[in-house]
Amino acid sequence: MGRDREAAAEGIRVVEVGSAACGARYCDNTVTNSKYTLVTFLPLNFLEQFSRPLNQYFLLIALLQFISIIAPVNPLSTILPLLLAFTLTAVKEGYDDKKRHALDAVFNNRMYDVIQHGELVQKRSRDIRVGDVVKVMQNSEIPCDLFLLKSSDPDGVAYIRTDNLDGEIDLKPRACVPVLAACDVFSVQGKLSCDPPNPRIYHFNSVLEVGGERHSVTTQQLLLQSCFLQNTEYVYGVAVYTGGDTKCGRNKESPPIKWATVDKEISRYSVRVFIFQLAIAFVMGLIGVIELAKYGDDAWYLGFHKVSAIHYIATPMRFFLLTSVMIPISFKVIIDISKYYISLAIGWDASMYDPNIDAEAGGTPAVANNTAIAEDLGQIESVLTDKTGTLTDNIMEFVACSLGGQTCGGSKTGSAHFDPTVSVFSDSANAEERFSARTDPAYTQFGLSLALCHTVSIETNADGTTRYAAASPDEEALVKAAVKMGFSLRHRTKNVTTIARTGTTGATEEHEILHVMEFDSDRKMMSILLRNRGTGVVTLYTKGADERMLPLVRGRSTDKEVETLEAHLRTFASAGLRTLVLGYRDVPADEYQAWSKKIEAAAVQPGDAREVALQKAYEEIELDLTVSGATAIEDKLQDGVPDTIATLRRANIRFWMLTGDKFETAKQISRSCGLWAEGEELLPLQLGPAASMSEDQLLSKLYHDLTAAAAAVAARKRPPAAGERDPGARVLSPYGTFAPVVHGEASYAELPSQAHGPANQSTSSSTSSVSLKDFSEVTNRKPTASSSSDRSDTISGSGLACAGHVLIVEGRAVQLLLDTYYEQFRALCNSVNSVVCCRVTPGQKASLTAMAKSGETPHPDFTGNARNSQEDALARLGDFQSLEGAGKRACPGAALPGCCKRGPKAAPPRRVLSIGDGGNDVSMIQEATIGVGIVGKEGRQASRAADYSIARFRFLKPLLLVHGQYSYQRSCYIAQYCFYKSMLLAFIQIIFNWFATFSGVSYWNSLLLTAWNGAFTLPAPFLYVLDRCAPRERLMESPELYKAAQSGEALTGDTFAMCLLLGVFHGMTSLLVTLIVFNGDSVSHAGDPMDFNSIFTVTYTALIMIQAWIVVLDSHTLTVPNLLGIFLMPPFYLAFVAAYGAQKWSDYYGVGTRLFNDPAVWLTVIVITVALFAPYMFVKSYYLNYNPTPMQLAYLRGAGHPTLTSHGKPVYHNVQSAEAATVLHDSHEIATIEGNSQTGSC
């Protein structure tokens, strides 16, 4: 009991096997994924909807309409549209939640066998409690998190499929604690002390007490909820976590809320419209009170006798309600529907469908998991990508190895050149010579390392064949290579692994598995401790990254052997191959006995203390290794990766590659995939061997390299004179640092090892780089004509400036830069064409993504034109004179958001896209503006956590260039058009009150006012979701067109203001023409006086007609649904007016008949329509002919109008501009379009 109290005080959960009292302390196993119940649905849903400021505004308007003294129109004119919008949203939410309820019911009511009072009884899944012993049959879903007690397998092994949890389809082995392998599950007793409920799927540090002994329990004994039992007849397990306490339940966190940039802009403009509305209401209300005081006594028949204090409140409020239509309630509904359609269109896109991935399910289409941010796909500025499985196929092939001081593979017979396309097994002559009869110790230990040091299991397929099941493709490739080298894995259990020597002896060896030290991203290595059952020798086999392994093998290797190995590793990495170093050592029996006691003690430590103790124990045995060799594995690029990157770079999108590979591998891959293009200079930031340098020396070196990189970027601003040292041109010295280049010769100079930043700047001025202060002066210098012309040179077809740079940073340098030189590092990254970061951890990936989002520096103009804003931003790379020394950290938390040392207030976030395929990419995917997951061999964790899921990297091109631009253009137009047509009605109300002595009377009938946004003008913007701003082929062929959406040209303050002004102009013109033709003395064709309802209907009819023509003129694509929705609306409106005017109960009675029979009415409608449409069409035609946008030109060329001319010349070559050149490619023809590419349309 004392130990239980201690555990409770530490927050440790104590599970008593088979104890009902234990289960009563914790929640039951009810799984709830739904949001609502029948009782809470309406209040919770409406509370969610009214939590949005825009909905609160509409609710306020609706409530104020019920105050009769200030309500200018019937309250239903606001209530009905509001209820319609809310009802549609509620119905959608309710339908989605009903499906979640149905899935929950299936899971909660599933029956399982549970041991109670010594016998099996049936229980619903929801009734299982902590401590219950549950029996799970083969192919059944695990009902809760179970501690594995017993398995039908004699060795106590069970296999689970975890694809519901992490997307990985390979079976995962689980094994019961050896002491329980032969236990009687009906009578077993014990206590399991484990962590409190937490979301860490791969963490379960627990201790089992049975018979007075303590045993270590890890994730190898944990069966997680939502997984399926496979290849095992049955298992018994103790319920450890149930219901919402399971690890699956704890991971059900709401994804981060992401808000599209277009939505943010519309909200910002809505606030401005609201302020304008308040100002109008106040001014006109004040004038109304003055007018009332002036004429109130004479207008006694209106019920006003004297102005009181209430009028100073009521009159402005009346005008506030009168103009409330300025902010339309319909636009949000229409945009949401448009976004939903975009998500469907992405899934329907056959060009983003891969039939090979998940072929059994019919292939893999693209999936939009988040429908709220589709517009941001058209405004991406940077793409941060993982490498393995994202840029590559994640299909590993063993190509070469370093064995006995020589390389095997990578070259043909008689050739000294290393060729990664030549596998060690493809050269049959050499392969036979090397592997047929080799028995030397070096070769044997290398083969044993490949065949034994892994966690690969053997699975039996339905047809009786076997296959290797590995946690990673690398391990599978190594084991298969071992087979070809004569070391075949035949059998593996949790305790024994069996291999066969298929070469000379054909002998079979059994090795007892004593301990496995698994790989993780921090250790970057794994080890396995084995005992040969034939000889009794205990051997440690280790493999890992070279930076972790080389220090461990130096003690038993000569300097020459290590240098040779390092040279081989550089050769492999330079060819883009993934490398691992293998090592081993025999462990004496007494050392193993002492170490096993330490590992047992560490394994029963509680909580996080176990991890610390285990790591310390691992370090004590993983030392003094003998190197057995190194491996080189090729992971080929996916089809279309170089073309996709090159195309998107032409679209002004910068690329970052974040990978765990070593420096040389990352450099080579960046070249092969197109991140490092011809003509671009490489700027490496690499710390070198940390063992020989102090922290101050590392920071000093990093400072100088960062300074040199900044100077290299700045020096491209001006060409050097003949014989002048070019501070921008750099070559790498043998020490990996920068050295200056004098024209005509290159000199190497190592940076001073003891220099401390700016304080010692003078000591290295002759051999080191230009200071960042000089860099700032260069970047702030006004460009000359010659330099501008130099910069305008472009690489044909690439869209990238010849003066571009590629920054490549090693993982340790990344962390120091984030901690110490955050602002300078960010500015440098934003001033180069591509960034490559190698040896980075998942946490660093997320930090780099956050930094890319917060970048202040605008993009370099990839057409070669230096913008002034970029020059100013480049200067912000900073003057390190403000630092107290490169060896002193500015702030350890500088990489964290909100750090006090971060500097000035950050600029608005930039739009970045992160793409990856594995669980280690989830953090950067969720951090990015848009996260894209690749469905690959590392499971579906990334695709499930992402906003969009695709099967191949090349699908990123249509996702951004086509769907992104379509979505952005559509949403921008729909939002601005909705504000235009609402401002149209609102301003007519304002102008009409000038003629009505500011009385606050409405010009419109309440029903027709409601029907304006709710019916008559709804189909046109709704069907605009089918519009295409340019043909798909043109968008793919001319990625430069993406720059218009990227810079936000379709929705700016100017375009939004132009739409509002167009509404003001149309409102004023239509009202004034109507009032001029039909004044107070006008009569109809039948001789009846024109009443108020008849007069406003004339204006209303003209506005209905003009809306059809406006949408037609603004549409790029007119489909059958578009045409029907646009041109069937006027007849429908006229039928509505006729039906409404025939109702005797209405004050609108007779209006339809009176107007339809009056030629003057139709003539007035035609005049108003022409007066409104003609100027708009003239302006549009003028810009189309004399100053078209690149998008308009692309559409016209795609639509078959290549001969459109201006003054007798092709318009493509006659458009003048004051802006940067935009390259539009068409069948090898490069047409430079320079011009004011921004024209607003509503």
Amino acid at 126: R
Contact 437, 501 (CB under 8 A): no
Residue 327 tokens read as: 């902010």
Mean pLDDT of the chain: 78
User: Between helices 822-829 and 695-715, what is the axis angle to 10°?
Assistant: 40
Buried b (16+ CB within 10 A) or exposed e, 180-199: bbebebeebebbbbbbebee
Q: Can you tell me which residue has the tokens 């991971």?
A: 251
Rounded CA-CA distance 408/401 in Å is 5
Residue 227 confidence (pLDDT) above 70: yes
Residue 784 confidence (pLDDT) above 50: no
Range with the poorest average pLDDT among 77-86, 730-739, 1009-1018:
730-739
Three-state SS at 135: strand
| Residue, of 698 and 1217, whose pLDDT is higher | 698
The listed range with the strongest mean pLDDT (41-45, 143-147, 765-769, 801-805) is: 143-147
β-sheet bridge partners, residue 459: 467
Contacts of 811 (CB under 8 A, 6+ apart): 837, 838, 839, 840, 841, 844
Range with the poorest average pLDDT among 45-49, 842-846, 1205-1209, 1224-1228:
1224-1228
Q: Can you tell me which residue has the tokens 């979701």?
A: 1025
Residue 3 confidence (pLDDT) above 50: no
Return the closest-CA partner of residue 1012 out of 999, 1002, 998.
1002
Residue 921 tokens read as: 């990419």
pLDDT tens per residue, range 968-996: 999 999 999 999 999 999 999 999 998 88
Q: Give the model's pLDDT for residue 434.
A: 57
Report residue 688's pLDDT band, with 50, 70 and 90 as the boundaries.
low
Contacts of 1035 (CB under 8 A, 6+ apart): 961, 962, 965, 1041, 1042, 1194
What share of the chain has pLDDT > 70, as a percent?
A: 78
Pairing type for strands 681-685 and 912-916 reads unpaired
Rounded CA-CA distance 57/575 in Å is 62
Q: What's the sign of the alpha-carbon dihedral 738, 742, 743, 744?
A: negative
Contacts of 912 (CB under 8 A, 6+ apart): 380, 381, 382, 383, 384, 849, 852, 853, 928, 929, 930
What share of the chain has pLDDT > 90, as a percent?
A: 29
Tell me the mean pLDDT in the region 1133-1159: 88
pLDDT tens per residue, range 374-418: 999 999 999 999 988 888 887 888 988 998 888 887 765 445 567
pLDDT tens per residue, range 460-496: 776 767 788 887 788 888 999 998 888 889 888 888 9
Amino acid at 854: S
Contact 933, 915 (CB under 8 A): yes
Q: Give the model's pLDDT for residue 690.
A: 53
DSSP 27-40: --------S--TTT
C-alpha 1144, offset from chain centre: 60
C-alpha 867, offset from chain centre: 29
pLDDT tens per residue, range 1087-1096: 677 788 889 9
Contact 942, 916 (CB under 8 A): yes
Pairing type for strands 745-746 and 382-385 reads unpaired
1122: burial class by Cβ within 10 Å (0-12, 13-18, 19+)? buried
C-alpha angle 1011-1166-330 in degrees, rounded to nearest 5:
20
Torsion angle, alpha carbons of 784, 790, 792, 796, to 10: 180
Q: Is 640 left (phi over 0), alpha (psi -120 to 50) or beta?
A: left
Contact 806, 740 (CB under 8 A): no
φ, ψ of residue 138 in degrees (nearest 5): -60, 140
Rounded CA-CA distance 801/1224 in Å is 16
Rounded CA-CA distance 281/530 in Å is 84
Range with the poorest average pLDDT among 441-445, 523-527, 636-640, 730-734:
730-734
Contact 1027, 1117 (CB under 8 A): yes
Contact 814, 844 (CB under 8 A): yes
Range with the poorest average pLDDT among 49-58, 477-486, 776-785, 981-990:
776-785
Amino acid at 1079: N
Amino acid at 671: R
| Residue, of 756 and 550, whose pLDDT is higher | 550
Report residue 78's pLDDT band, with 50, 70 and 90 as the boundaries.
confident
Q: Can you tell me which residue has the tokens 């209405």?
A: 1146
Rounded CA-CA distance 223/232 in Å is 13
C-alpha distances out from residue 284 to 67, 288, 752, 908, Å: 19, 6, 74, 37
SS3 content of the chain, % helix, strand, coil (to 5): 45, 20, 35
User: Between helices 1092-1114 and 1120-1127, what is the axis angle to 10°?
Assistant: 160
Tell me the mean pLDDT in the region 292-306: 66
Report residue 584's pLDDT band, with 50, 70 and 90 as the boundaries.
very high
Rounded CA-CA distance 134/141 in Å is 12
Residue 706 DSSP symbol: H
Contact 877, 775 (CB under 8 A): yes
Rounded CA-CA distance 859/855 in Å is 10
Contact 710, 826 (CB under 8 A): no
Range with the poorest average pLDDT among 291-300, 517-526, 722-731, 1120-1129:
722-731
Helical ranges in 584-662 per DSSP H: 589-603, 609-621, 641-650
Report residue 1019's pLDDT band, with 50, 70 and 90 as the boundaries.
confident
Contact 1190, 1224 (CB under 8 A): yes
Pairing type for strands 930-934 and 948-950 reads parallel
Tell me the mean pLDDT in the region 550-562: 89
